[in-house]
Structure 1
Amino acid sequence: MSTASIHAGWDAQDPHGSVVPPIYSTSAYAHSSHASLRALFARRSEGFAYSRSGNPTTQVLEARSTALEGGIGAIAVASGQAAMTIALCALLAPGTHVVASERIYGGTTELLGDTLEDMGVAATAVDPWDLQAWEAAIRPQTRVFLLESIANPGAQLADLPAIAAIAHAHDIAVVVDSTLASPALYRPGDHGADIVVHSATKYLAGHGTTIAGLIVDAGSFDPRRCPQRWERLTTENRRFATTFADDYARGCSGLLAYARAKYMTDFGATLPAASAHAVLVGIETLELRMERISAVTAQLAQHLHGQDGVASVQHPSIPGRPDAEIARRDFPRGTAGVFSIDLDGGEPAVEAFCDALELFTIAVNIGDVRSLVCHPASTTHSHLTPAQREACGVLEGTVRLSIGLEDEEDLRADLERALAAAQRVRAADPAAA
Structure 2
Amino acid sequence: MATPRNAPAASLLRFATAGSVDDGKSTLAGRLLHDSKSVLADQLAAVEHASRARGLAEPDLALLTDGLRAEREQGITIDVAYRYFATPRRRFVLADTPGHVQYTRNMVTGASTAELMVILTDVRHGVVEQTRRHAAVAALLRVPHLLLAVNKMDLVDCAEPAFTAVAERFASLAGSLGIGSVTAIPLSARDGDNVVTPSDRMDWYGGPTLLEHLETVPAAGEPEDAPARFPVQYVIRHGGRGYAGRISAGTLRVGDRVAVLPSGLTSTVTAIDALGTPVAAARAPQSVTVRLADDLDVARGDLLAPVDSAPRPTRTVEATACHLHDRPLRTGDRVLVKHGTRTVPALVTAIPARLDPDGLRPLPAHDRLDVNDLGRLTLRTAEPLPVDPYARSRRNGSFLLIDPADGSTLTAGMAGPPPSAAPGADSSDPQARSPR
What interval of TM-score do these two structures reach, taking the shorter chain for normalisation?
Answer: under 0.3
Q: Which has the higher helix share?
A: 1
TM-score normalized by the length of structure 2: 0.25
Greater C-alpha radius of gyration = 2
Q: Which has the higher strand share?
A: 2
TM-score normalized by the length of structure 1: 0.25
